[in-house]
Amino acid sequence: MARLKTADKEFAILEAASRVFAQRPFHEVLIDSIAADAGIGKGTIYRYFETKDDLYFAAILHVLDTLTGALEATLCEEMTAPRRLETIATVILQHFWERRQLLVFFQREEHFPIRHEELATRRERILRFVQETILAGIERCEFRGIDARIGANLFLGMVRSVNLFHRSDDRLEDLVAQLMGVFLSGVARRQG
């Protein structure tokens, strides 16, 4: 087999692992399946990851980091707050639109208490994108003075919902429009 650079192989394993773990629950996933999916031997996996648990955890971080990367790449400073929020929603939805199975990793996983901290940090990073945008919106008087932490969580809650319930005949732009319609009116400055 052609040898890959170490980082590439690790990447390949993570991609395979996130695919396979996304399909079935942890206990139904065989390390053999991941090895097969990655096109490598089972033993090789253990050169890169200590245990099945480690690999699982790394796969989740991999998915979250990929999403964070996509967000960082798309957002730019000059946007208005509403435009920024719309972009965030669109990027997240696009990211999972064709990879719905990966969504299980976006949900909060309560079952790893020890590593919970590390996961929380990653999710915090995504939350902060939204939170800071809301704060900026409040400062510029685009939004009313809501609690930015709560607002950001509510926003991401709606995004997650859309991710979960959308059907194949839904159009992404329509759903984003509906979501933004509710959220922006919801946080707009009181009228009259």
Partner DNA sequence: GACATAGAACTGACCGGTCAGTGTCGTAAT
Partner DNA sequence: ATTACGACACTGACCGGTCAGTTCTATGTC
Query: Which of a second copy, DNA, none does 88 bind, CB closer than 5 to 8 A by kind?
Result: none
CA distance linking residue 68 with residue 105, whole number of Å: 13
CA distance linking residue 175 with residue 92, whole number of Å: 12
Among 6, 8, 24, 69, the residue binding a second copy under the rule CB under 8 A is 24
**39 to 58: interface string for DNA, x by CB under 7 A:** xxxxxx-xx---xxx-----
What's phi and psi for 40, nearest 5 deg?
Answer: -135, 175
Q: Which is nearer to DNA, 59 or 71 (CB)?
A: 59
Query: Which of a second copy, DNA, none does 83 bind, CB closer than 5 to 8 A by kind?
Result: none
Amino acid identity for residue 159 in this structure? V
Contact 133, 78 (CB under 8 A): no
Amino acid identity for residue 32 in this structure? D
Query: Which of a second copy, DNA, none does 43 bind, CB closer than 5 to 8 A by kind?
Result: DNA
Binding to DNA (CB under 7 A): which residues in 11-40? 27-32, 39-40
Find the length of the chain. Answer: 192
Q: Does 116 bind a second copy (CB under 8 A)?
A: no
Query: Which of DNA, a second copy, none does 121 bind, CB closer than 5 to 8 A by kind?
Result: none
Picking from 25, 107, 122, the residue whose alpha carbon sits closest to that of residue 69 is 122
Inter-axis angle of helices 81-97 and 116-139, to 10 degrees? 150
Binding to a second copy (CB under 8 A): which residues in 131-190? 146-147, 149-151, 153-154, 156-162, 164-165, 175, 178-179, 181-188, 190
Q: Least distance to a second copy from the beta carbon of 124, Å?
A: 10
What's phi and psi for 113, nearest 5 deg?
Answer: -60, -35
CA distance linking residue 138 with residue 150, whole number of Å: 14
Q: What residues line the site for a second copy (CB under 8 A)?
A: 24-28, 100-101, 103-104, 107-108, 110-112, 146-147, 149-151, 153-154, 156-162, 164-165, 175, 178-179, 181-188, 190-192
